């Protein structure tokens, strides 16, 4: 991590920083580096390449303010785009991705990028571009959670939304919450850790801490969503197979103006009591043909974890096929998946 100090002299600091430091906030959202304004100094800490770009932007803004007497948020956005406008070309050179494939890059992070690795993941990404709500159903290891978080962060970075809400049902898979140590927050943290792991892999610690402190990103149990209306937000419901039918309805009706949602789950790993219906299983027959809502079914060929994960998924499928002891719920879940896979195969590619 490099550090740099830029001194601002002979300018209107109030106008330069903007109302509530809005101009500085634009730079913070654009870059992963830590940007702090103290008096007439801007302190930077982060990647060398980013610090050089930020310094160039600041110097150009200082010159522009001296020339025209003030700067606007539009000026900050314009100069930032001009300075970083060669990003696509740089990414193409660095990664070998062809220019026509850059549209499929979800999130650019420093010198790295996140991009769909399978046709199923690519379908998920494209469906998210054209729908407000996308249900993603598939086995473990297909990147459902990771890709969803990347898509939400890309929307935040592009200022399409103002915040991200990540949630999971706190359903016990063999263990009991009551036997776990600590207060309620400490008890539910293990359920939310996979979402935090994805965020920590994509966002530097300083910036992620800032997002949490300003409630730009929230990670909360599903039960805490009741009563809220979320505008200008990206919602992700993870492990949705463990949401009841009522919880699923509650979550979907939280969606406010200019908001989007991704719901992920694996209907072969339901931890609900036998008499409770999985909201993810039920919702397929309720919303399958509603405009603005899409269903994406990932398969074992979309597994992107260790090869053993794919072998484990195969082994369980073979065992299930041999077993005659399936209960009614298992048969129902399998029929839902089989029926929708047939529908999916009958669709034309890209729809």
Residue whose pair of structure tokens reads 């919303």 in the numeric block: 287
pTM above 0.75, yes or no: no
Confidence grade of residue 260 (pLDDT, cut at 50, 70, 90): very high
* Beta carbons within 10 angstroms of residue 121's beta carbon: 24
The two domains 2-85 and 116-346 share their CATH topology (first three levels equal): no
Most confident of 192-201, 230-239, 272-281: 230-239
Confidence grade of residue 349 (pLDDT, cut at 50, 70, 90): very low
Give the per-residue pLDDT at 305.
64
Q: Is the pLDDT of residue 345 over 50?
A: no
Residue 5 CA from chain centroid, whole number: 32
- Compare 337 and 284 and report the one with higher pLDDT: 284
User: What is the average pLDDT across 33-42?
Assistant: 90
Q: Is the pLDDT of residue 183 over 80?
A: no
Distant-in-sequence, close-in-space partners of 41: CB < 8 Å, separation ≥ 6 = 5, 6, 7, 8
The answer to whether residues 96 and 45 touch, using CB atoms and an 8 Å cutoff, is no
- Of the CA atoms within 13 Å of residue 83, those in its CB half-sphere come to 22
Give the per-residue pLDDT at 49.
80
Specify the CATH superfamily of domain 116-346: P-loop containing nucleotide triphosphate hydrolases (3.40.50.300)
- Compare 14 and 178 and report the one with higher pLDDT: 14
User: What is the average pLDDT across 36-64?
Assistant: 89
User: Backbone phi, then psi, for 59, in 5-degree steps?
Assistant: -65, -40
The Cα–Cα gap between 345 and 351 comes to 11
* Beta carbons within 10 angstroms of residue 319's beta carbon: 9
Q: Is the pLDDT of residue 220 over 70?
A: yes
Tokens of 88: 């696509």
> Tell me, which fold does domain 2-85 have in CATH?
Ribosomal Protein S8; Chain: A, domain 1 (3.30.1370)
pLDDT digits (tens, 9 = 90+) for 105-149: 677 665 567 878 888 888 999 899 899 999 999 988 888 998 999
- Compare 217 and 305 and report the one with higher pLDDT: 217
DSSP-derived pairing of the beta strands 41-46 and 34-38: antiparallel
Distant-in-sequence, close-in-space partners of 243: CB < 8 Å, separation ≥ 6 = 169, 222, 237, 251, 265, 278, 279, 280
Confidence grade of residue 237 (pLDDT, cut at 50, 70, 90): very high
| Among candidate residues 233, 202, 232, 207, the one with its CA nearest the CA of residue 220 | 233
C-alpha distance from residue 7 to each of 38, 44, 77 (Å): 10, 11, 21
Q: Number of H helices and number of E strands within the chain?
A: 13, 11
The answer to whether residues 197 and 248 touch, using CB atoms and an 8 Å cutoff, is no
Q: Is the pLDDT of residue 235 over 90?
A: yes
User: What is the domain partition of the chain in residue ranges?
Assistant: 2-85, 116-346
- Compare 350 and 341 and report the one with higher pLDDT: 341
The Cα–Cα gap between 97 and 183 comes to 48
């Amino acid at each position: 991590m490099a550090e740099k100090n830029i001194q601002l002299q002979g300018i209107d600091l109030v106008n330069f920083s903007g109302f509530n430091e809005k101009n500085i906030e634009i730079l913070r959202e654009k870059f992963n580096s830590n940007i702090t304004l103290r008096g007439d100094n801007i302190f930077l800490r982060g990647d060398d390449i980013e610090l050089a770009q930020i310094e160039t932007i600041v110097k150009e803004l200082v010159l522009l303010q001296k020339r025209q007497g003030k700067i606007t948020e539009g000026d900050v956005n314009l100069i930032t785009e001009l300075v970083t406008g060669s990003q696509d070309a740089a990414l193409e050179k660095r990664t070998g991705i062809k220019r026509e494939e850059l549209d499929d890059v979800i999130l650019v992070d420093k010198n790295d990028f996140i991009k769909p690795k399978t046709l199923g993941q690519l379908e998920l990404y494209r469906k998210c571009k054209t729908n407000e709500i996308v249900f993603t159903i598939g086995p473990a290891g297909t990147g459902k959670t990771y890709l969803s978080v990347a898509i939400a962060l890309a929307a935040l970075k592009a200022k399409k939304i103002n915040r991200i809400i990540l949630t999971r049902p706190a359903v016990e898979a063999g263990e009991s919450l009551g036997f776990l140590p600590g207060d309620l927050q400490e008890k539910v943290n293990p359920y939310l850790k996979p979402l935090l792991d994805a965020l920590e892999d994509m966002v530097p610690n300083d910036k992620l801490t800032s997002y949490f402190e300003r409630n730009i990103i929230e990670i909360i149990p599903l039960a805490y969503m009741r009563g809220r209306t979320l505008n200008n937000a990206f919602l992700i419901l993870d492990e949705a197979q463990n949401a009841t039918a009522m919880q699923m309805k509650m979550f979907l009706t939280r969606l406010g103006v200019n908001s989007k949602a991704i719901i992920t789950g694996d209907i072969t790993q339901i931890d609900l009591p036998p008499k409770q219906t999985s909201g993810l299983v039920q919702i397929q027959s309720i919303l399958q043909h509603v405009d603005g809502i899409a269903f994406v079914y990932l398969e074992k060929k979309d597994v992107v974890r260790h090869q053993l994960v794919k072998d484990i998924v195969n082994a369980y499928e073979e065992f299930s096929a041999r077993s005659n002891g399936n209960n009614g719920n298992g048969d129902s879940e399998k029929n839902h998946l089989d029926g929708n896979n047939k529908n999916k195969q009958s669709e034309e590619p890209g729809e």
